[in-house]
Amino acid sequence: MTQTIFITGASSGIGKATAHYFHDKGWNVVATLRDPAQAGDLAALPRVLVSCLDVTDAASVVAAVDAAEARFGGIDVLLNNAGYGAYGPLEAFDMEGIRRQFDTNVIGLLEVTKAVLPGMRAQGKGVIVNISSIGGRMTFPLGSLYHGTKFAVEGLSEALHYELEPLGIRVKIVEPGMIATDFSGRSFDFRQTPDLTAYQPVVDKLFAVLGSPEMAATASPPSVVSEAIWAAVTDGTPRLRYTAGADAAAYMAARSAQDDATFIGGVKAQFGLGG
């Protein structure tokens, strides 16, 4: 029987690459995105259902899940991929901006998961893959909001692992490193205001590092993440975490081997920060 994967944030990057990857493997694919007009070539593929879904709109979440179950009979895998990165000094964000980051990356993920769970419980099986980041286990300067959401994804995923495994539902976390996607474009919300001059030296150093050829050279294609997602879905093990990208593996190895002072000191050195 053909299996079905339900993907949020499928308009570009990791989501779109993974939709193609699973479709090429013979799966049914539910590609959800805020604007179905951006589905591109996905819309013309057989066994692909393109649906409108905004993770911050509960009604659209329910409608997309209902449509998927009606079309394919059930959802075997949920890929919670939709999200974006809010960076900049905390003082530069109003509460609306702060809530938007958490509503999208955390509350929206929970909203979609809750909508899919009844069907998975009825089936007695399923896999939920949550896209975290190496930024869910370590941090870069000026990323308090983004890293806060990804640390939350790590914690809620680990806790869900305990409660859902007895029901036949596996929870997996995929942690990409630098990926060559639109994350730094339309999926990147950077804020700084002219009056917050005290933070400008750190802002300048952040962009100097993130925009450097050396950092760009470490970026992996989205297909690397798709491969990690495929492994998480199909390996049949209770393994919880999967890194994606050589830089992610290196960062996580260092984070595990070093104490806080050593690791954080290395990040400060990378960004030219004293202290």
Beta bridge partners of 242: 174
pLDDT at 182 over 70: no
Q: Other CB atoms closer than 10 Å to residue 117's CB: what's the count?
A: 19
pLDDT band at 183 (very low <50, low <70, confident <90, very high): very low
Mean pLDDT of 16-41: 97
Mean pLDDT of 161-173: 98
pTM of the model: 0.96
DSSP state of 32: E
Q: Which of 16, 51, 133, 150 is catalytic?
A: 150
256 is known as an active-site residue: no
226-264: per-residue pLDDT in tens? 999 999 999 999 999 999 999 999 999 999 999 999 999
Please tell me the distance from the alpha carbon of residue 31 to that of residue 8, in angstroms, as a whole number. 7
DSSP state of 220: B
pLDDT at 213 over 90: no
- Give the model's pLDDT for residue 198: 97
Q: Which fold has domain 4-270?
A: Rossmann fold (3.40.50)
Indicate the domain borders of the chain.
4-270
242 is known as an active-site residue: no
Q: Which of 87, 146, 199, 242 is catalytic?
A: 146
The H or E element spanning position 53 is none
Return the CA Rg of the chain: 19
**CA torsion angle 172 29 224 247 (round to 10):** -40
Strands in 177-259 per DSSP E = 188-190, 241-244
169 and 130 in contact (C-beta within 8 Å)? no
Q: Which of 11, 12, 51, 132 is catalytic?
A: 132
Nearest to 241 by CA among 141, 165, 133: 133
Backbone angles phi, psi at 45, to 5 degrees: -85, 145
114-142: per-residue pLDDT in tens? 999 999 999 999 999 999 999 999 999 99
205 is known as an active-site residue: no
35-67: per-residue pLDDT in tens? 999 999 999 999 999 999 999 999 999 999 999
